[in-house]
Amino acid sequence: MNSVVRTSMLMAALTALFGFVGAALGGATGMVIALLFAGVMNIFSYWNADKIVLRMYNAREVDPRHASGSIRRYAEITSALAHSAGMPQPKIYIMENPQPNAFATGRNPENAAVAATTGLLQLLSDEEIAGVMAHELAHVKNRDTLTMTVTATIAGAITSLANFAIFFGGSRDNGGLIGAIAIMLLAPLAAALVQMAISRTREYEADRIGAEICGQPLWLASALAKISNGAARIPNPTAERHPATGQLMIINPLHGQRADNLFSTHPNTQNRIERLQTLAGRVAQNGYASAGIAARGPWG
């Protein structure tokens, strides 16, 4: 129920932003048109947002029967983790992208997909890949994927709609050109704040549940250190073109937002690593059961 309420509140807030931008562009008529458009888009996003995001990143589905090398191991690891966690098998995608990163998407666990970049598979060991994919499966298990994907889609649309404000000049009743400039700047910011409102806690929780799924908190801790360093050095042009999708990734793919500041959709990586190290310490000191972690992952 928490997931349903959270998603509904998020979509309502973003829908209200649509209406606000519409009113700025066309007064009362513009607001009505924007709200109708937002309602249609909410419904469309529920069923199709995952496909939109996968298409944005040119992700291709992996068939484990015909895959080889690191891609085959990635598919086998993900399938083993899902089976170990008692979850439906997600669809598995690969993105031809040198930046190490990954995300999960889908409206529910029965219709979920996970995607990893070729850069991630080249950089990480099998154990670290397991830590990352366990984190993504945790998002699926917690039903975060609908929230993340719909939010990314609608927030991106709000940004595009707001950018039109400068061309249309806004309605005369709402400040004309000055109002349009304000809308162009503030609407995307408001959408980003709505995204940020739930994302940090969600990432911390997925780290914890991911450690439970794979049984080894330090696998993810090691992976996060490597991915963070790689993402800081290697640009992700697709994410830069569609910044609203950045929140989907395990590490922020956008450059210049590595700090745990007001507008970051991801927690500080070092904070996440330290939490995982603390969890591993509790396991070492008191055993798996007391830390809420499975006795071992699928590789023993």
176-191: average pLDDT: 59
Q: What are phi and psi of 216, to 5 degrees?
A: -140, 95
The pLDDT of residue 220: 97
Q: How many CA atoms lie within 13 A of 56 on its CB side?
A: 25
Q: Is 163 exposed, middle or buried (0-12, 13-18, 19+ CB in 10 A)?
A: middle
Q: Where are the beta strands (DSSP E) in the chain?
A: 60-61, 91-95, 102-105, 113-117
Question: Residue 283 — pLDDT band, cuts 50, 70, 90?
Answer: confident
Compute the distance between CA of residue 201 and CA of residue 266 in angstroms, rounded to an integer: 9
User: Residues 16-67: pLDDT tens digits?
Assistant: 776 676 666 666 666 666 667 666 766 766 677 789 899 999 999 998 888 8
Contact present, 163 and 181 (Cβ < 8 Å): no
Compute the distance between CA of residue 265 and CA of residue 78 in angstroms, rounded to an integer: 25
Distance of CA 205 to the CA centre of its chain: 13
Compute the distance between CA of residue 267 and CA of residue 16 in angstroms, rounded to an integer: 27
Contact present, 120 and 141 (Cβ < 8 Å): no
Confidence check: pLDDT of 70 > 90:
yes
Tokens of residue 61, six digits: 């589905």
pTM, rounded to two decimals? 0.77
Of 79-83, 88-92, 209-213, 285-289, the poorest mean pLDDT is in: 285-289
Show which residues are catalytic: 136
Question: DSSP characters for 131-168?
Answer: HHHHHHHHHHHTTHHHHHHHHHHHHHHHHHHHHHHHHH
User: Residues 186-199: pLDDT tens digits?
Assistant: 666 666 666 565 56
The pLDDT of residue 82: 94
Compute the distance between CA of residue 176 and CA of residue 296 in angstroms, rounded to an integer: 62
For the chain, the maximum distance between any two Cα atoms, rounded to a whole number of angstroms, is 68
Tokens of residue 194, six digits: 């709505």
231-241: average pLDDT: 92
